[in-house]
A and B are shown apart, each in its own frame.
Chain A
Amino acid sequence: MGADEHHQGLLDRELVVVTGKGGCGKSTVAAALAVAAAARGVEVIVAEVDARGDVARALGAGGTPEPSVEVELAPRLHHVSIDPDSALRHYLADQLPSRALAETLLSSRVFPYFVAATPGMRELLTIGAVWDLTREESRRTGERLYDLVILDAPATGHGLAMMEAPSTFKRAAQAGRIAGQAGQIEALLEDPSRTAVVAAARPEDLPVNETIDLARELDERLSVPLAAVVVDRVHGDPLTPEESRRVAAAGVDPAATGAALAVHRRAVAEHGEIGRLRGALDCPVATLPEIPSVDLGPGEIAGLAGRLEALL
């Protein structure tokens, strides 16, 4: 494995979108990538969209992060939790000629319903707020400019819908401010030299299938390639095939030999699944080891970050 010259490294992009099947370690991967980037001297921000604070917690922040507040958790390592409502407020304040107009809209009885009812509007606002983080023009006085934005995106289906929202709105709106902005966001997302999509997966049947499907859908729907896959929670293989035969024949400690053989069988199956991914995809596939701990904290994440060097 490795990033050869055909594969532009993740640090050379403006935005890295981490998606993947639910429960496959998106937040772990986003956090580890951010730690690895910061260690390389990159000013990086991780944007979370579900308001669950998984990334913030893994990076050592106490409590649930306040929406839309950018916090530096470690040197060069920043975090923000994106919330569509405050994204809307920022957006209107930026877009409208006067604060009074923005207030008129926000306090009207109709506008909040319009936003809630328009399909895809929340997705557009969220991805728009992420886009804003990448732009020098939209940083306000005193705000930092980041070298890299890492988005801990929703799971595959919803994640794709979020990435597709700008082009849908551009087509629907045709002209006007939404169309103009949606076009700019689309240009960021659909330019592989600016945006990289990374899939988090696990070395199992379903997540591997979903990752292969994701690569195809990205190509069909957004015409972008999958930049890399990070397979989380890979178990090491304790035994060679020859050793496994000797252990199977051992006469004592059936619980222990059974457990070792089960780990071996699982590792073999996982190896097969990772091979299947590599065979089906034309992008680097990195792996992270299973860590048998209940809570991943900054220490564990730093250890994992080292395993992602080749993707940077």
Chain B
Amino acid sequence: MSGSLPGRLENRSVVICAGSGGVGKTTCSAAIAMGLAARGKRVAVITIDPARRLADALGLDELGNEPSLVDPARFAGDGIEIEGEGELWAMTLDAKRTFDELIESLAPDAETRDEILGNRIYQQLSGAVAGSQEFTAVAKLYELDRSGRFDVLVLDTPPSRNALDFLDAPERLTGFFEGRALKFFLAPTGLAAKAWGRGTGAVFGVMKKVTGVDLLEDLSVFFRALGGLIDGFRERAEGVARLLEDDGTTFLVITSPEREPAEEAVFFRRKLREAGMPFGGLIVNRVHTVGDDGPAPDPEEVAADLGPELGPELAAKVARAYGEALALAERDEASIARLRRETGERHPIVVPELDGDVHDVAGLVAVHRWLFAGS
């Protein structure tokens, strides 16, 4: 596999950036999209909850929920030229709004739509419940892919602690639209109960006692209203599943060298393999380095060298700080070696911990330079 990112992403139309929270996924996603746009592609990046200044850097409109064109003049001062066919579009995902739009597009009539949107259970579901962000992210991805407006879509994934949630989410959330619970609630008594066999009536009775009647009513109304949308949802879920397995789709696994994200990256790489999903490469972000390549001087030597100029006390301070930086760099190097072994990725793309703010245009360009190094 070629080490360069453009080589790995050639002929890919969907790039999904996965990894734990706090490893710089959003920044990497934006930098990848910018780099591809500078290479002549029409690219849209879907970000999840970007830092305010990154959003400002991209000129993201919070109220959008649709990609908007990023003015190439924003990057020109930092040496990135997006010209010719190349275009960079960006959006921030609004999970609730995406969910609402999905319901609107699938509801057979206005009455059903309003019934669902106004239902308390739906409001809880479309808000912050685990999985709804993952679900809406792929729903948006699918919608943009079908629109045919872009050469490449780059998706930043939600900061779930377990990156796997992202792969499972569509199935988990669409599963119940066609599941038994739905059929049960469509007609909890009467014919359906008979079809379910004996005992269902008793179960419903106990559930009423446990949950309270109103909650069951709410659920019943919710599921009944959703009944009209089943076919649409099923179609959508199948389309999403096809898109994730498509040859044009690739997953980039992003991590920092720290233990927990790195373990998560190894786990995610294994799950991708098991699920037969395409793996495009490993990016190790925020790696500590000391100086340039070449043999590093020993901290004691440093203290001796600097002593005459800085005095013994300050020289010792510098040597100690340097020693700690060396230890951190060694720790990161060991972590990368372990990541290589355990993911089977021989040439991970390494981005060093950058000095200063990475959430402005200059920071984005700096990250981009490391990601696209050698190309």
Contacts and interface: CB of A to CB of B under 8 A. Distances in A.
Contacts of B327: 292
22 contacts: A21-B159, A22-B20, A23-B261, A52-B162, A54-B260, A92-B210, A117-B181, A118-B219, A119-B129, A161-B127, A161-B130, A169-B215, A173-B211, A173-B212, A173-B214, A176-B210, A238-B320, A243-B317, A255-B292, A259-B322, A292-B327, A294-B331
B120 interface: yes
Contacts of B373: none
Contacts of A95: 210
A23 B22 contact: yes
B48 to A, nearest CB: 10
Interface in A244-261: 246-247, 250-260
A252 B130 contact: no
Nearest to A295: B259
Contacts of A256: 291, 297, 299, 302, 305-306, 318-319, 322
Interface in B318-334: 318-322, 324-328, 331, 334
Given A105-B203, A155-B21, A254 B291 contact: yes
A116 interface: yes
B291 A262 contact: no
Nearest to A249: B309
A286 B319 CA distance: 28
Contact of B120 (A101, A171, A207, A252): A171
Contact of B212 (A50, A176, A262): A176
Dominant SS among interface residues on chain B: helix
A175 B296 CA distance: 70
Classify the interface of chain A: helix, strand, loop or mixed: helix
A246 B314 CA distance: 9
Contact of B51 (A154, A206, A253, A293): A206
B209 interface: yes
Given A22-B159, A260-B317, A250 B291 contact: no
A189 to B, nearest CB: 15
A239 B125 contact: no
A40 to B, nearest CB: 28
Given A110-B180, A122-B130, A104 B203 contact: yes
A157 B131 CA distance: 11
B199 to A, nearest CB: 6
Contacts of A202: 22
B76 interface: no
Interface residues of A, number: 75
Nearest to B120: A172
B10 interface: no
A16 to B, nearest CB: 19
Contacts of A105: 203, 206-207, 210
Interface in B209-233: 209-215, 218-219, 223
B128 interface: yes
A160 interface: yes
B200 interface: yes
Contact of B322 (A111, A120, A260, A293): A260
A252 B306 contact: yes
B182 interface: yes
A245 to B, nearest CB: 11
A265 interface: yes
Nearest to A239: B317
B321 A111 contact: no
Interface in B282-327: 290-292, 296-297, 299, 302, 305-306, 309-310, 314, 317-322, 324-327
B179 interface: yes
B357 interface: yes
B184 interface: yes
A96 B209 CA distance: 9
Contacts of A52: 161-162
B355 interface: yes
A62 B209 CA distance: 42
Nearest to B52: A209
B130 A154 contact: yes
B140 interface: no
A269 B368 CA distance: 23
Give the residue among A24, A173, A205 with the most B Cβ atoms within 10 A.
Answer: A173
Given A250-B306, A256-B297, A177 B321 contact: no
B319 to A, nearest CB: 7
Contacts of B207: 105, 111, 114
A179 interface: yes
A292 B331 contact: yes
A95 B206 CA distance: 11
A71 interface: no
B121 interface: yes
Name the residue in A50, A96, A257 with the highest tally of chain B Cβ atoms < 10 Å from its Cβ. A257
Interface in A270-287: none
Contact of A104 (B53, B202, B261, B359): B202
A175 B124 CA distance: 19
B124 A120 contact: yes
Contacts of B112: none
Given A111-B207, A256-B302, A292-B327, A178 B314 contact: no
Q: Which of A111, A119, A173, A243 has the most CB of B within 10 A?
A: A119
Given A54-B260, A110-B184, A111-B203, A96 B212 contact: no
Interface in A102-131: 104-105, 108-111, 113-114, 116-120, 122-123
A263 interface: yes
Interface in A152-170: 154-155, 157-158, 160-161, 164, 168-169
